[in-house]
Amino acid sequence: MKTIKIKDLDEKVYEFTSQSGLKVYIWPYELSEEINMTLTVRYGSIHTDFKVGKKAYHLPNGIAHFLEHIKFNEKPGVTAHDYFYSIGSYTNAYTTYDHTSYEVTCNENVETNLNHLLYFVFNPYFTKDLVQKEKGIIVEECKMSLDNPYNVGYQNLLQNIYKYNKKRNLVTGLEDDVKRITIEDVETVFNNFYHPENMFLTVTGKINPFEIEKIVEKFFADKEYPKYVKPKMITKKEPDDILKEKDSINTNISKEKIFIAYKIPKKNFGKIDDLSLRIMLNIILNVNFGTTSTFNNYLLQNDLIDEIYYSLTVEKDHVVVIFEVSSSYPEEVLNDIRKQMKKISISEVEFTRKKRALIATSILGYEDPYDVNSDIRMDLIRYNKITTDLKGIIESFSLKEIQDIASRITGYKESYIILNPIEENS
């Protein structure tokens, strides 16, 4: 078993690879009774087109989410939800763009819970009746998602800024996508991606790492898996341009909402690694648009907004910044954000303050099993390794480097959507 030391925190994450090829990451924490177990598959909603050998597959949108749902069925009339509920544990799952995770939370019976998590995820129980039944459930979920005006606004924004990036499609797929899914599609994904070598297990909380290793190895002792042939994703290079600059949607909301996206060519920032770039840009955006920023205070003091949020995504070829604003003055706020984007800056005082805040947050992060489980998961998905020296990385940034990165936020394309309340007839 390998020990991964988290620098400056006196914390350790234990790692081992089981005989099946499944990588396991364990963080023991004696101060919490809660135990979080997460089994993650490196397969998400964007992975619909791929090749295995010379054979190409083009599966319906929503297939990853569909498989996540149907996976909870263990045998006729029995689900994993039923089992975990009966022993006083909690289970759930989620599918996102690039992975699917199955979660169990418990306070005791570690072996029973972990065995069953591994069992139900690796158990290939699929029938045509189950597939047909699940379609109706997920179609309703799709409809509910599209009934939410904010979901519609956000999804329309993604469709306007991306040409080929599969994030432009709903994670659930649309109704027609779901209806096209067959049992053969489900089996194709399971057989090609639900292999231990394409998955990892994360266990955090009050546990003994060597006990976890023993349970996992015992589970896989009598199981054999074929050699893993990693599928090759079929993708198209995303252009720097966008598809549509603006949209306006009349919908059932009480106040105007604005979604604004900035698509920035990643090549602007040189060869900086994704983790450092993400941290630096978050510092810069927080100083210029965060809750304590001068810009935010200006908008609030002049009653221009109720709230403003931003999100940042670092992708293969682009950095995408999205603002979500609630305001009765959308056009004015939109112009204010444009002006601020053109004069982004950061002073030494602001930089020092944000660095200190980030370092404090990184230290406090190792206090909750659920949060640590999530952080480990995101590190492995984004960087294929655990970040062991976040404090050191943050401290290594100089003001000159940060200001240089800020100056490179140029050449971007903007797209926005305004959601307008439907006016009632008087």
Cα distance between residue 100 and residue 94, in whole Å: 6
To the question of domain 246-421 being in CATH 3.30.830.10, the answer is: yes
> What angle, 0 to 180 degrees and rounded to 10, lies between the N-to-C axes of helices 274-289 and 330-342?
130
pTM for the model stands at 0.94
> Can you tell me the mean pLDDT for 282-303?
95
Tens digits of residue pLDDT in 318-353: 999 999 999 999 999 999 999 999 999 999 999 999
State residue 426's pLDDT score: 39
Domain 246-421 in the same topology as domain 2-233: yes
pLDDT digits (tens, 9 = 90+) for 399-409: 999 999 999 99
Question: Could you give the strand order of the β-sheet that contains 11-17, starting from the edge strand earlier in sequence?
Answer: 2-6, 11-17, 23-28, 199-205, 35-41, 100-106, 90-95
In this model, does residue 393 exceed pLDDT 90? yes
Nearest to 324 by CA among 274, 255, 268: 255
CATH (residue range 2-233): 3.30.830.10
DSSP 422: P
Tokens describing residue 339:
């002006």
Kindly state the greatest CA–CA separation across the chain. Answer: 72
* Listed residue (155, 75, 87) closest to 115, CA to CA: 87
What are the residue ranges spanned by the domains of the chain?
2-233, 246-421
Task: Name the nearest CA neighbour of 328 among 259, 260, 256, 247.
Answer: 256
Residues 235-278 pLDDT 10s? 999 999 999 999 999 998 888 999 999 999 999 999 999 999 99
Could you give the dihedral angle defined by the CA atoms of residues 70, 75, 79 and 80, in that order, rounded to the nearest 10 degrees? -90
**Cα distance between residue 210 and residue 11, in whole Å:** 17
